[in-house]
């Protein structure tokens, strides 16, 4: 379970996303949760100056498919950051461990191979309620945090070129 505080609490100043191009991959599995994360992510990006047409949203079946799609997007060299949204809720089998671990590893591999920030937005929770609490705007608002991380990293990578 997440601890107190939030990534967003540590930010200083305003992140101006004007001119950034952001791709968001969103898993359809656990649609209520991933849809809430996606909505908060896009709303936050737009509130920070990323134009609507500079945000590309693509759907994938589930968290397992996120690294494959992220790799294809990164290879296009069109985006300043890629946000990967998914949700894996623990069940009665070790399937959770395989999907969550490989999704995280695969997204890390993409970010290192293509030199583009890939933001890991795969919720891994014990229960559906924990996931909902993290996804809601009146909860932990992880969708907002994903957008802020994409903005910060996209701007950083531009500065380092």
Residue 29 known to bind ligand: yes
Residue 64 known to bind ligand: yes
Residue 105 known to bind ligand: no
- The dihedral formed by the CA atoms of 70, 72, 73 and 77, expressed in degrees to the nearest 10: 130
Note if 95 is an active site residue: yes
The single residue of 28, 72, 95, 105 carrying the catalytic annotation is 95
Count of CB atoms situated within 10 Å of the CB of 128: 13
Instruction: Tell me how far apart the alpha carbons of residues 18 and 112 are, in angstroms, rounded to a whole number.
Output: 25
Residue 89 known to bind ligand: yes
Residue 125 known to bind ligand: no
Instruction: Tell me how far apart the alpha carbons of residues 36 and 109 are, in angstroms, rounded to a whole number.
Output: 26
Residue 85 known to bind ligand: no
Q: Report how far apart the first and last C-alpha atoms of the chain are (Å, whole number).
A: 36
Check the CA dihedral 11-17-22-26 and report its sign: positive
User: For 8-11, which contacts have Cβ atoms below 8 Å and span 24 or more sequence positions?
Assistant: 8/141, 8/144, 8/145, 8/148, 11/148, 11/152
Residue 53 known to bind ligand: no
Residue 128 known to bind ligand: no
Residue 93 known to bind ligand: yes
Residue 87 known to bind ligand: yes
Q: Which residues are annotated as a binding site?
A: 29, 63-65, 87-89, 92-93, 120, 134
| Residue list, annotated binding site for 5-amino-6-(D-ribitylamino)uracil | 29, 63-65, 87-89, 120
Task: Mark the binding-site residues for (2S)-2-hydroxy-3-oxobutyl phosphate, compressed into ranges.
Answer: 92-93, 134
Active-site residue set: 95
């Amino acid at each position: 379970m997440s601890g107190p505080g939030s990534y967003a609490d540590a930010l200083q100043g305003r992140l101006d996303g004007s001119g950034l191009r952001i791709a968001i991959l969103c898993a359809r599995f656990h649609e209520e949760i991933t849809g809430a994360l996606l909505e908060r992510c896009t709303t936050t990006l737009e509130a920070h100056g990323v134009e609507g047409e500079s945000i590309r949203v693509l759907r994938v079946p589930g968290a397992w498919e996120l690294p494959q799609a992220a790799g294809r997007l990164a290879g296009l060299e069109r985006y300043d950051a890629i946000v990967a949204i998914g949700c894996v809720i623990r069940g009665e089998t070790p399937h959770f461990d395989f999907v969550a671990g490989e999704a995280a590893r695969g997204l890390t591999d993409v970010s290192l191979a293509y030199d583009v920030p890939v933001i890991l937005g795969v919720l891994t929770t014990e229960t559906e309620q924990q996931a909902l609490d993290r996804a809601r705007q009146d909860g932990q608002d992880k969708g907002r945090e994903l957008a802020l991380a994409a903005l910060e990293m996209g701007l950083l990578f531009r500065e380092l070129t």
